[in-house]
């Protein structure tokens, strides 16, 4: 085997590999002899099948196996001889080969290698970490939202039309462009006017109705509606009001809490405070992580392997297409494809570069992922699917590769936590609304 480096440009390395025909022939003959020891063919005793017959019957498939093995072995030798750190599997291009002849096998192996770089000095990095001090008012507001969702209804005590805050019992049947659509029909549906449960001005148009009234309601589905086929469409609903009721607020007391499975109202508030604290802690860390990654991105500008960028971009683009199809792409829905491709290509480059930075910092500081940490990651995934815990757990149990796919995000989080422990982090008190606001929306405000 002869290996020659033929091109070095940026992170691209190209090698020409030549394997002598005699070497290939020897490997083919050796495999055919092994086959001949056990193969059974009509007219021949076991182990006595002539080589010419074996070549005619199995030669082509054996040659394919020999070529695959030869190129695989060559890839390992190229990496070893030239001390490469491949970013991905190499591309292989056959230059010369005659399956029936006696020519040498010549092929190219094209690698992209990982960049050589030193992580930037992080001693000057300072991060602001937003934190929320949970107040009694926030807890009371959360309790109020729970109570609002458990309102009951009662007959009106006076003869009057439906008003905002009342509950109307309705039958409705909707259409778009004169065509009935799934999910646009219902009977005996209780709707609180002003709750925002239905689209547009649907609820507003039912104010002033009485039991027995019929209304034709005209509304427009939002541009970002989750069902893409309805987004931006005008709809007509024929609505029959069957009954008008008064909404009855729930009294927030110990009995209310007991109805939710708690000993008393204080116990309910304690659990809500803990949950809010957990939610705020998670979001606070995410905001600190984003701020850190933004600074890491500014501190590093090395070239990244385009093959890795292509893979990352393809994943992002596929997800974007699904969001566009579902009508969930937000402001991206109004951009042209060229603009979107450039924007998300830049995002892919940033992600790949940051991934390499975090990987390098992790390796230099001997950060690893223990088996127990992977197990905890699996349990976290299981908890994300209430009611399907057994199915999700069995999926991971029967798919070791799925478990391994969690290693990278766990490693990334460990490296981020390590860096946050090394840089200056200042806590900045903010409101719950500020903490939970999307950073992109915040910048645009």
CATH of the domain at 347: 1.10.3120.10
State which residues form the domain around 324: 282-444
Residue 258 counted as domain residue: no
Reduce the DSSP state of residue 253 to 3 states and report it: coil
- Per-residue model confidence (pLDDT) at position 101: 59
CATH number for the domain harbouring residue 223: 3.10.50.40
Going by C-beta distance under 8 Å and a sequence separation of 6 or more, which residues neighbour residue 46? 38, 39, 40
Residue 133 inside a domain? The answer is no
* pLDDT on residue 445: 32
State which of 249, 268, 298 marks the end of a domain: 249
Residue 339 within a domain:
yes
| Mean pLDDT on 169-183 | 91
Whether residues 437 and 326 share a domain: the answer is yes
Q: What pLDDT does residue 288 have?
A: 96
Q: Quick one: 351 and 438 in the same domain?
A: yes
Q: Two tokens at 113?
A: 């290698």
Q: Check residue 381 and give its pLDDT.
A: 93
Q: What pLDDT, on the 0 to 100 scale, is given for residue 149?
A: 82
Comparing 5-14, 85-94, 100-109, 340-349, the range with the smallest average pLDDT is 100-109
Does the pLDDT value for residue 267 go beyond 90?
yes
**What's the whole-number mean pLDDT along residues 268-287?**
95
Compute the distance between CA of residue 7 and CA of residue 41 in angstroms, rounded to an integer: 50
The predicted model gives 290-303 an average pLDDT of 95
Q: What is the pLDDT of residue 440?
A: 57
Helix locations, 365-438, DSSP H: 371-383, 389-398, 400-404, 407-420, 432-436
Among 92, 112, 132, give the residue marking a domain's end: 112
Q: Tell me the C-alpha distance between 419 and 413, whole Å.
A: 10
**Which pLDDT score is estimated for 444?**
35
pLDDT, tens digit, 9 for 90 and up, residues 99-113? 665 788 899 999 999
For residues 336 and 283, the model is more confident at 283
DSSP letter (8 states) at residue 157? S
Position 182 scores a pLDDT of 82
Q: Is residue 11, in this structure, part of any structural domain at all?
A: yes
Average pLDDT over residues 25-35: 87
Whole-number mean pLDDT of the chain? 90
Report pLDDT digits (tens) over 37-79: 888 888 887 778 888 888 888 888 888 898 899 999 999 999 9
Decide: 198 and 163 in contact? Cβ < 8 Å. no
pLDDT reported for residue 330:
67
- 376 within some domain: yes
The two beta strands, 424-429 and 126-131, are parallel
Total tally of structural domains belonging to the chain: 3
Beta bridge partners of 8: 13
How far apart are the C-alpha atoms of 96 and 71, rounded to whole Å?
A: 13
């Amino acid at each position: 085997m002869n290996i020659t480096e033929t091109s070095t440009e940026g992170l691209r390395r190209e090698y020409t590999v030549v394997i002598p025909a005699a070497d290939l022939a020897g490997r083919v003959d050796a495999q055919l002899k092994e086959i001949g020891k056990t193969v059974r063919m009509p007219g021949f005793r076991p182990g006595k099948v002539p080589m010419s017959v074996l070549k005619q019957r199995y030669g082509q498939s054996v040659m394919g196996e020999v070529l695959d093995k030869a190129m695989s072995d060559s890839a390992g030798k190229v990496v070893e001889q030239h001390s490469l750190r491949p970013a991905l599997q190499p591309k292989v291009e056959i230059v010369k080969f005659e399956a029936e002849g006696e020519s040498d096998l010549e092929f190219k192996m094209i690698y992209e290698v990982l960049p050589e770089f030193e992580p930037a000095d992080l001693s000057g990095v300072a991060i602001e970490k937003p934190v929320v001090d949970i107040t009694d008012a926030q807890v009371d507001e959360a309790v109020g939202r729970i109570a609002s969702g458990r309102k009951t209804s009662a007959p009106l005590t006076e003869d009057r039309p439906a008003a905002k805050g009342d509950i109307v019992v309705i039958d409705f049947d909707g259409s778009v462009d004169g065509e009935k659509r799934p999910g646009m029909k219902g009977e005996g549906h209780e709707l609180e006017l002003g709750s925002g449960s239905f689209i547009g001005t649907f609820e507003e148009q039912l104010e002033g109705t009485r039991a027995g009234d019929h209304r034709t309601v005209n509304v427009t589905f939002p541009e970002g509606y989750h069902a893409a086929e309805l987004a931006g469409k005008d709809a007509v609903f024929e609505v029959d009001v069957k009954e008008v009721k008064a909404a009855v607020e729930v009294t927030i007391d110990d009995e209310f809490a007991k109805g939710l499975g708690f000993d008393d109202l204080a116990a309910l508030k304690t659990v809500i405070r803990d949950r809010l604290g957990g939610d705020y802690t998670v979001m606070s860390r995410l905001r600190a992580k984003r701020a850190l990654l933004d600074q890491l991105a500014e501190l590093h500008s090395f070239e990244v392997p385009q093959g890795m960028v292509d893979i990352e971009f393809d994943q992002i683009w596929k997800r974007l297409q699904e969001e566009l199809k579902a009508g969930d792409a937000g402001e991206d829905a109004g951009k042209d494809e060229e603009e979107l491709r450039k924007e998300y290509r830049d995002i892919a480059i940033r992600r790949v570069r940051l991934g390499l930075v975090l990987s390098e910092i992790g390796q230099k500081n001997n950060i690893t992922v223990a088996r127990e940490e992977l197990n905890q990651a699996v349990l976290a995934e299981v908890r994300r699917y209430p009611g399907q815990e057994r199915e999700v757990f069995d999926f991971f149990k029967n798919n070791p590769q799925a478990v391994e796919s969690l290693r990278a995000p766990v490693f990334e989080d460990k490296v981020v936590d390590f860096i946050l422990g090394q840089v200056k982090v200042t806590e900045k008190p903010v409101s719950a609304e500020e903490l939970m606001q999307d950073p992109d929306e915040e910048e645009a405000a």
